[in-house]
Structure 1
Amino acid sequence: MAGWDHEWQEAVSRVAAAFERLSDAARQNLEGHARGMVAHKEAMQQLVARADAAAHCAGCGGACCVRGRYHFSAVDLLVYLATAKPLFAPRFDNGLCPFLGEPECLIPAGYRPFNCITFNCDLIEDQLTRDEVSRFYRMEQELSARYAEIRALFPARSMDGPLL
């Protein structure tokens, strides 16, 4: 537990230092991308909310969230920094996904990692119309492009992969 906390703090410090080194113009550019990403993720969450995703997740106990691990990326942290959103404290002591609180995710929908916001189990996807499913997967591709746009603001590969 203490090891993960230490690794988390080191990773946060590394990304925060890169953020601080940005010029004002680059920081404003990042802020625009970050706000767009938050809105995009919220729109994706709203789409599955129409299928009553929260009730389905509660019904199975959020099995996908319980098994999730360390999907939070450097880009996800940059979005927090660029929008001045207070960062959550992961729970490395819970034996589950460290971003899973009680009773729900510690991360607001617009700030959740790519894997978390783009995964729909069959229970949820089966409740969506064919058009909604197609729209969701188009939005997933657009979200992937948004991640690439933010990574491109930094030296090659420096913001790739999970934070931990």
Structure 2
Amino acid sequence: MAGWDHEWQEAVHRVTAAFGRLPHPVRLELEEFARGMAAHKEAMQQLVAQVDAAAHCAGCGGACCARGKYHFSAVDLLVYLAAGKPLFAPRFDNGLCPYLGEPECLIPPGYRPFNCITFNCDLIEDQLPREEVSRFYKMEQELAARYAEIRALFPGRSMDGPLL
């Protein structure tokens, strides 16, 4: 656990330093991208809220959260930094996803990692009308493009992949 905390701190420091080196016009562009990404993720969350996705997740105990770990990416952190949001403290001692708190995710919906915001289990997806499922997957493709826009602001592949 101490190792994960240390790795987390190092990764946060690395991305924060890269963010701090951005020229002002690029930082403004990143801030605009971050606002758009957070709004897009919130819209995706609202779409599944139509079928009370949160209740389904609570009912199964968040099984996908128990299995999914370390999806928070450098881009997700950049969105936090650009939005001026205080960063959460992961819980590497819980044996589950380190971003899972009591009783829910430590990350607000607009800032959750790509995998977390785009995954719908069958319980949720089966209750959505077909056109809403199609709209959701179109939104997923648009979200992937938003991640690519932010990664493109940085040299090489320095902001690819998970933070840890």
Q: Which TM-score applies when normalising by structure 2?
A: 0.99
1:58 match: secondary structure:
helix
Distance 1:91 1:58 in 2: 19
Shift of 1:58: 1.1
1:35 match: secondary structure:
helix
Number of paired residues? 164
Q: What is the aligned partner in structure 2 of residue 4 from structure 1?
A: 4
Q: Give 5+ residue unaligned stretches, structure 1.
A: none
Deviations 1:24-82 (CA, angstroms, capped at 9, x unpaired): 11100000000000000000000000011011111111100111100000000000000
Shift of 1:83: 0.4
1:3-82 matched pairs, under 5 angstroms: 3-82=3-82
Moved over 3 A (4+): none
Q: What is the aligned partner in structure 1 of residue 83 from structure 2?
A: 83
Q: What is the aligned partner in structure 1 of residue 132 from structure 2?
A: 132
Q: What is the aligned partner in structure 2 of residue 145 from structure 1?
A: 145
Distance 2:59 2:31 in 1: 37
Q: Give 5+ residue unaligned stretches, structure 2.
A: none
Distance 1:161 1:63 in 2: 23
Distance 1:66 1:55 in 2: 16
The one-letter amino acid of 1:155's match is P
Deviations 1:79-131 (CA, angstroms, capped at 9, x unpaired): 00000000000000101100000000000000000000000000000010000
Deviations 1:109-156 (CA, angstroms, capped at 9, x unpaired): 000000000000000000100000000000000000000000000001
Distance 1:25 1:11 in 2: 24
Q: What is the aligned partner in structure 1 of residue 104 from structure 2?
A: 104
The one-letter amino acid of 1:70's match is Y
Q: CA RMSD in A?
A: 0.4
Distance 2:158 2:70 in 1: 17
The one-letter amino acid of 2:97's match is C
Distance 1:144 1:123 in 2: 24
1:78 match: secondary structure:
helix
The one-letter amino acid of 1:51's match is V
2:33 match: secondary structure:
helix
